[in-house]
Amino acid sequence: MTPAIAIKDLIKDFRIPGSDARLRAVDGLNLTIEREAIYGLLGPNGSGKSTTIKVLLGLLKASAGNCELFGTSSENASARIRVGYLPEAPYFQRFLTGRELLEYFGCLSGLKRAGANDRIDELLERVGLEDAGDRRVGSYSKGMLQRIGLAQALIADPDLLILDEPTAGVDPIGAADIASLITGLKAEGKTVLLCSHLLSQVEAICDRVAIMSRGRLLCEGTVASLTENTGKDSIRVDGLSKDGREAVETLANEQGGTVSAPSRSLEDLFLELARNTEDPL
Amino acid sequence: MSTTNERLHWSFLRVRVIAGNTFREAVRMKLFLAMTILAIGTLASSFLFQEFNFGSSELKFIADFGFGGMTVFGSALAVIVTAQLFYGEIEHRTALTLLAKPIYRSEFVLGKFLGAWATVACFLGMVTICLVFALWGRETSIMAEYPDQFESGRSVHYVAVIGFSAIQALRIGILCSIVVLFSTYASSSLFAMVMGVLIWIVGQLQHIATEAWTAGDSWLLKGVYAVASFALPNFHLFDVGDQLALGENLPGAIYGKLGLYALLYVSFYLAVAGASFNRREL
């Protein structure tokens, strides 16, 4: 079976205005993303992630190399039939309501008029905007823009979703909801290419991860293989008695180790507190 | 999950969807409302001068005001709205989401053009209706005042007034396609607007180039004028207000010729615009 995305020796140079010099944004990238997986594309700002995505979507032309979506060259508009895209910092037609925006993108994506309203209602509910569907997009908060952006990406039920920073500007509860939605998409048999700076989220939901820097691929593999830390072990024991803890501490000290209380991240604490005090969105 | 790759066919349905959305955006712009009010205001102001004119000359005065409002404000609207509606998609980055959908860029170009043209056509339609009502109302009152001057019936040829509006729609269609062309490679909407205005002015004076081409001696100048005469439309051909204003209509063949002329130029500019936009990186 052809992979969802195949990138071969991709190079993308940008001409610097006013000079003959060129800036290399992507430098010989090779990447294969199999179907029905969540793939994380990580890297600092300017590492070439968004440029790679734009080449995949035909918004930019490759300087060298080629990209294929489900075996079709990304230069061909047909390659985008099965793709949904959420751009980084999504800007949408502010004069449309959320519902009109989904209708518009639905029509462009080949959504049949019959059943379109049901699909729009379903998506608005799925992204938590059922009460804001008739409001103009211009009045939406940043988090709501991300949600309507996700809905428009899903409108034609694509097999591949390319999500560029889907949780940017979204509060931790919203980010957790989006993570849950992405996990659900994988369960539906979809492939997700995810660019995010929320490393904890990427670690939690991605099957494989690639890390880019300065246009080059630094490493690629499963999350487990990349985060494996050989030479250190962690043992978790709940409900330990005082004597039991002393015995474990003694044994750990003899072996050159330590015993300490497990820590939790600030994000975990915020989520826990916020979920206990607010209704889910 | 589908396993076979579908082929995307060029679709007029998608063009229609983009044109419809462009039209919706335009009519929700304050500029559209402002231009319409200005044009109708200009027409209404012609009534202020009614004491200086009597009989049919006053009606011609009103008609000229209306025709002038249509041409001037229609052209301004065409330049500004087309640049904003096309380049605005790039400037506000909404084109990224749109062109990431399974659509051809030529569909986008044609859809944007049709949406912008429909907007200006709608403007022309509203001004035409107001002009027809203004002429009808004034002519009726003048007929009551001076019945002897209207023994042979009404003097205004109302079909000709609508004909003038249709001819201006053709002229403005060419102007919209020129602004679309410049918007496809512009780096700001201001550039597209300035170029649109320049071409509009040059187009109004293009008949001078044609005359120079036929009358000049220098082969080099003749060549330059010849290229300019073919590459740029002659907007002077659409100045038919004097012929149409009162009591006369143009032969049907003129409508046909101007329609074909506009179709050729619009097709040419949009074809170049499509090729230019295909090369553009977003």
Percentage of residues of chain B with pLDDT beyond 70: 92
Local confidence band at B42 (pLDDT 50, 70, 90 cut-offs): confident
- pLDDT at residue number B215: 73
- pLDDT at residue number A121: 94
Calculate how close chain B gets to A94, using CA atoms only, in Å. 9
Q: How far apart are the first and last CA of chain B?
A: 30
Q: Is the pLDDT of residue A175 over 60?
A: yes
B97 and A189 within 8 Å at the Cβ level: the answer is: no
Binding-face residues of A in 125-154 toward B, CB within 8 A: 149, 152
Backbone dihedral region for residue A36 (phi beyond 0: left; psi -120 to 50: alpha; all else: beta): left
- pLDDT at residue number B228: 77
Q: Is-contact B98 B104, C-beta < 8 A?
A: no
Distance CA A115, CA A128 (A): 20
Least confident range of A179-188, B54-63, B106-115: B54-63
Percentage of residues of chain A with pLDDT beyond 90: 50
- pLDDT at residue number B197: 93
Segment A219-245 shows an average pLDDT of 77
Calculate how close chain A gets to B8, using CA atoms only, in Å. 5
- Residue B175 makes CB contacts below 8 A (sequence gap 6+) with B75, B78, B79, B82, B196, B199, B200, B203, B235
- pLDDT at residue number A271: 58
pLDDT, tens digit, 9 for 90 and up, residues B59-98:
888 888 888 888 999 999 999 999 999 999 998 899 999 9
**Domain ranges within chain B, ordered by starting residue:** 9-278
- The phi, psi pair for B254, rounded to 5°, reads -65, -40
Q: Where are the alpha helices (DSSP H) in B92-104?
A: 94-99
Calculate how close chain B gets to A39, using CA atoms only, in Å. 18
pLDDT, tens digit, 9 for 90 and up, residues B231-279:
889 898 888 876 665 566 778 888 899 999 999 999 999 999 999 999 9
Q: Is the pLDDT of residue B203 over 80?
A: yes
Contacts of A90 in chain B (CB under 8 A): 97
Distance CA B44, CA A182 (A): 60
Average pLDDT taken over every residue of chain B: 86
Contacts of B21 in chain A (CB under 8 A): 93, 96, 104
Q: What is the 3-state secondary structure (H, E, C) of chain A?
A: CCCCEEEEEEEEEEECCCCCCEEEEEEEEEEEECCCCEEEEECCCCCCHHHHHHHHCCCCCCCEEEEEECCEECCCHHHHCCEEEECCCCCCCCCCEHHHHHHHHHHHCCCCCCCHHHHHHHHHHHCCCCCCCCCEHHHCCHHHHHHHHHHHHHCCCCCEEEEECCCCCCCHHHHHHHHHHHHHHHHCCCEEEEECCCHHHHHHHCCEEEEEECCEEEEEEEHHHHHCCCCCCCCCCCCCCHHHHHHHHHHHHHCCCCCCCCCCCHHHHHHHHHHHHCCCC
Interface test with B, best of A91, A108, A136, A164 (most B CBs within 10 A): A108
pTM of the complete model: 0.86
Sheet-wide strand order for A160-164: A83-86, A160-164, A191-195, A38-42, A208-213, A216-222
- pLDDT at residue number B248: 67
- pLDDT at residue number B4: 57
Q: Is-contact B120 B78, C-beta < 8 A?
A: yes
Distance CA A270, CA B211 (A): 79
Is the torsion defined by CA of B70, B76, B79, B82 positive or negative? negative
What is the CB neighbour count within 10 angstroms for residue B205? Answer: 12
Q: Is the pLDDT of residue A281 over 50?
A: no
> What count of CB pairs under 8 Å joins A to B?
89
Q: Is the pLDDT of residue B222 over 70?
A: yes
Closest residue in chain A to residue B23, using alpha carbons only: A95
- Residue A87 makes CB contacts below 8 A (sequence gap 6+) with A149, A164, B93, B96, B97, B100
Q: What is the DSSP letter of A261?
A: P
- pLDDT at residue number B177: 96
Closest residue in chain A to residue B104, using alpha carbons only: A77
The candidate with the shortest Cα–Cα distance to B104, out of B6, B14, B22, is B14
- pLDDT at residue number A157: 92
Local confidence band at A280 (pLDDT 50, 70, 90 cut-offs): very low
Closest residue in chain A to residue B4, using alpha carbons only: A70
Distance CA A250, CA B167 (A): 97
Interface pTM, i.e. ipTM: 0.84
Q: Is-contact A150 A257, C-beta < 8 A?
A: no
Q: Is the pLDDT of residue A22 over 80?
A: yes
